[in-house]
Structure 1
Amino acid sequence: MNKTKTGMMAVFAVMLMLATLAVALVPAGESEAVTDSGSPANYQDAKMWVLGNANGDTKINADDKSVITSKIGTPVTEAPMCDADHNGSITADDVTFVESLIDGTADYCYYYNVDGTICKFTFYDKINTIALHRCVVRSATILANFDTDVTIVGMDSAPYGEVEFNVSANYPGCVNVGVLKEISKENCATYYHDYQEALTDTGLVIMVGTIGYYLPNLEDWAVEYGFQVVRIPTWEHHPTEGLLTTAYLFAGCGNSNGPGDGDCWQHAQKYADWAFGILDKIKAKSTTIPEADRLKVLGVYTTTKNYEHVNHTRGPGSGDYENFADAGGNNIATRFGPGSKADWTMENIASYCGDLDILILMSTNCFSTNAFNVTEDMKELTEKMDGYVKKGCKVYAMSWALNGAPFTVQMVYYAKIFMPNDTALQAELPTMEQAWAKYLELIGWNSRTDISLDIQKVCSDVNAPGVTTMDPNSSGGGSINMTLVGGVAAAAVIIIAIIAFAFMRKK
């Protein structure tokens, strides 16, 4: 065999090896995740944060008794959800306590709140609720729709920026109590006496957000005046878990068969099954994407009347930061600092974001009763922002009010624009129209009940004329599809090898 043929054979062998390697590198599909039948080591990995939900699913039942029994003697730090009675150890008493939750004889339960604090909640047959922030009002009224024994006491005509927010117009079933912008120890007593009915089986609950933002002394006042405080995630990370947890607490009210039973709980379960069905799919896909292959994304909150300043970049701990990552994006907000940073101009944003792929502008005037004006403002701001970002960066506008229950719709939107080339995922996700329709069906509202929902829907579709954008109901754009690249590369190598082999045979 001459040197030419030997060399060609060597080249051919190398090409065949490259072809085999290229084919091997093409993902063959996602293998099924190995599930642990035990208990989550972190409460945030559970779908409902009530202690005793030992296996971390959406309900407490006999399955949790089995898990707790298998974990008796295990350190609480390794299985925190198994310590149902919150005494610092996992024993047979926890099994007994879970039995009382299941059969409805329990008078109370323990749960994790938005701050990761374990709190006690006493069950009552009827609840009156004061929600002290518009985002909390939104989630609270959803729970009220789930259960007629929960009365929401909301804010009426509370100013929000340059717009007016009217509870009675936007939320059915709310009791108007005037503007609740501030609350002190003294007016806590007033609210308590005004809205606590003279029935011993009635409880007053004040719903509010994280202790870092709202009323750090509220729990102390609650002890003095006898009401309960429930701090739930709304825009923070895990709003669906927070909503389901709070539904469980409220479902202990007015249900003869005990906590977790009755229309309230069944309705909340239907919502949770739908929401987690979508969220789990999105997160499972996003966790397979290396950081280097993710689109670089940034979300900023803006008041639509001030075009020169983008109020907040949303860093770690803001909720949006974590949600972007869960939806497959590489959130670059950390370039602006460790947390939520305010008062950045559009020039500032652009100077930090020369490699940005997607910019999402979120309107903080989402509670306006004038959807048309806010939508027009967002169109104008999007056009202005297009002049600052790099060519090819997609600019989207949406509403900040996609929190609480609408969070699931928000995550569908993110997944569609952050992972556009994952055709399998895109085929599994509902369209935006389908997601909105299902959400409204499950919470029992029609599309005109909450005006801010209309704003969210309209703003989510706003893009500046002339900006290259992607229809979130279709695929295309974004990062390179590595499966396709691998397949093309493999095919190219094989073709070259065939040509080389034919050339060698001629020799």
Structure 2
Amino acid sequence: MNNKLVAIIVVAILVVAGGAIAVIYSNNSGTDNKPSVASDIRLVVYGNANGDDYLDNNDLTYLQNVLDGKNEENKFCDTNCDGKTNQEDVEYLKAILAGTASEIYYENLNGNIASVRQPVNTIGADYWPIMYGIMAIGATDILTWTDSGIYNSLSTNDIYRGLDTSNIRNFGSGFHEGYDFETIMSTNLDAIVCGSEDIYFVGIEDKFSDESKIDMIRLPFWEGGDVSSAVITLAYLLGNSEYIENAHKFIEFQDRIQKIIDDGLSNVDKKETVLVTYLGSSTESSLEVEVECRGSGSYECSIIAGMNNLASYLNQEGKLSSDTMYYNTDQEYIIGKNPDWVIILGSGSGLFPNEDKLKTSYDVGAKYLVTTSAAKNNQIAVSGSGITSGTMQMNTALYLACTVYADAFENVDADAFLQEYIDNFTSVNNGLSSTDSDYLKADSTGFIYIPSKV
């Protein structure tokens, strides 16, 4: 995990030249460039030569040192993605930093090199974790289209409260091949932020022409669970200093929670076992169960919380497809595995003003699992399906860790961190003070329902 976020000042120098605004981002940490780059790079933009969370002059220095034989070369040194590292990459990185580059290259969710043409003035969003990420960096001012799932919940989901949605329109579904290509093209968007090419807008890149296309920004906002990478990479691809500053605040927030979890888990001797499930339909004798596997985001949430997920043998390669991230079975699978904990993903996503919806999901699922250790020990938890992955994943992991390993986290206030998320990375409490009656308080959201905690 990159620790350079603390005490780093992001300076945005706006240079007006020829009617364009050039944005230069400076990392004034004073840290020398490293001779090599770690493998866990979060900012997966080509030009991030030194592998930190910034695209700045330090990368220019690192890149020049690569050409001089002083630093180790890595794939992100190939700024213009022409297959070789040379002086042209230095010049292209200078253009990116000056805001004059025609496009910015990055590594997308599927591990492919992709690019986003500059400038980006309008974007679309497909699937709610993407929407939450856009909200977290404050980029809703350029959001003009969403999929029908987001669009239909704009007036009903509390997490969108305070958000100006008057200019947002509906382009329909982006799931698999269910999109209408003509409708998508009629949006005239610069880019659509979405997920894996195996699940969202499947095959759409092949339908574009060089003269007429929309850049598909595919980032791990939930698939794979690498949310911080998605947030910081999106901000730089959009080329806006305010978005970038907000993204750095978000990943600093995530890193603080991660450290608290890691510190608490250092005092835990034995990991509790768990299965994370989504409930399908039920009959009098059987319940359809979808077990969340590696890559689903919900699986990763349980791992972050320090739990031993019994589905770890499934999808070991972490392939991002509907067939591999979810294992469809019934309650007998859970009964047979007999985990210490069962986490049920309830219907809906976002923040819940009360626990009614969560309790309904508990009542449906728990009656089929009465013989499990989890049921006998009141260790079946229900969360909204929208909080174990995406930008709220780390908060949920903290709640789980505080509940499962209560002694190790007795001095941690998970509600305080959720309040920080609500206030700083959503529009829910925009323009409200903590004394206003409409102010949403974290301890009143019913974030996770656990009968033993009621």
For residues 397 and 334 of structure 1, what CA distance do their matches in structure 2 show?
A: 21
Structure 2 partner of 1:299: 276
Q: CA separation of 1:341/1:154 partners in 2, compared to 1, >3 Å: closer, same or farther?
A: closer
- 1:360 paired to 2:346: no
Offset of 1:315 from its aligned partner? 2.1
SS in 1 for 2:343: strand
- Is the deviation greater in 304-313 or in 98-107? 304-313
Q: CA separation of 1:219/1:99 partners in 2, compared to 1, >3 Å: closer, same or farther?
A: same
Structure 2 partner of 1:245: 233
Q: CA separation of 1:57/1:335 partners in 2, compared to 1, >3 Å: closer, same or farther?
A: closer
Aligned pairs for 1:338-487 within 5 A: 339-353=324-338, 356-366=339-349, 373-381=356-364, 383-384=366-367, 387-390=370-373, 391-392=376-377, 394-402=379-387, 403-417=389-403, 419-422=405-408, 427=411, 431-446=413-428, 458-464=445-451, 467=452
For residues 232 and 52 of structure 2, what CA distance do their matches in structure 1 show?
A: 11
Which amino acid is 1:270 matched to?
K
Offset of 1:337 from its aligned partner? 6.5
Q: CA separation of 1:123/1:419 partners in 2, compared to 1, >3 Å: closer, same or farther?
A: farther
Question: For the Cα contact (< 8 Å) 1:208–1:232, is it kept in 2?
Answer: yes
- 1:226 paired to 2:213: yes
Question: For the Cα contact (< 8 Å) 1:312–1:340, is it kept in 2?
Answer: no
Greater Rg, structure 1 or structure 2? 1
Question: For the Cα contact (< 8 Å) 1:304–1:378, is it kept in 2?
Answer: no
Aligned pairs for 1:5-84 within 5 A: 37-42=34-39, 45-72=40-67, 79-84=74-79
Offset of 1:192 from its aligned partner? 2.3
Unpaired stretches in structure 1, ≥5 consecutive residues: 1-34, 197-202, 253-259, 472-507
Offset of 1:153 from its aligned partner? 0.8
Which amino acid is 1:109 matched to?
I
Offset of 1:41 from its aligned partner? 4.5
Which amino acid is 2:129 matched to?
C
Q: CA separation of 1:303/1:293 partners in 2, compared to 1, >3 Å: closer, same or farther?
A: same
SS in 1 for 2:427: coil
Identity of aligned residues (%): 18
Offset of 1:230 from its aligned partner? 0.9
Structure 1 partner of 2:181: 188
CA deviation digits over 1:166-193, x for unaligned, max 9?
Answer: 2344443341326436686993233323
Structure 1 partner of 2:94: 99
Question: For the Cα contact (< 8 Å) 1:401–1:456, is it kept in 2?
Answer: no
SS in 1 for 2:312: helix
For residues 175 and 341 of structure 2, what CA distance do their matches in structure 1 show?
A: 37
Q: CA separation of 1:241/1:379 partners in 2, compared to 1, >3 Å: closer, same or farther?
A: same
For residues 186 and 271 of structure 1, what CA distance do their matches in structure 2 show?
A: 32
Question: For the Cα contact (< 8 Å) 2:190–2:215, is it kept in 1?
Answer: yes
Match of 1:173 among 153, 164, 168: 164
Question: For the Cα contact (< 8 Å) 2:345–2:382, is it kept in 1?
Answer: yes
For residues 139 and 304 of structure 1, what CA distance do their matches in structure 2 show?
A: 30
**Bigger RCO of structures 1 and 2 (CA < 8 A, at least 6 apart):** 1
For residues 457 and 81 of structure 1, what CA distance do their matches in structure 2 show?
A: 45
Q: CA separation of 1:277/1:351 partners in 2, compared to 1, >3 Å: closer, same or farther?
A: same
Unpaired stretches in structure 2, ≥5 consecutive residues: 1-31, 317-323, 432-439
Q: CA separation of 1:310/1:360 partners in 2, compared to 1, >3 Å: closer, same or farther?
A: farther
Match of 1:274 among 249, 253, 264: 253
For residues 371 and 72 of structure 2, what CA distance do their matches in structure 1 show?
A: 49
For residues 129 and 237 of structure 2, what CA distance do their matches in structure 1 show?
A: 19
Match of 2:128 among 115, 134, 142: 134
For residues 70 and 302 of structure 1, what CA distance do their matches in structure 2 show?
A: 54
SS in 2 for 1:265: helix
- 1:329 paired to 2:315: no
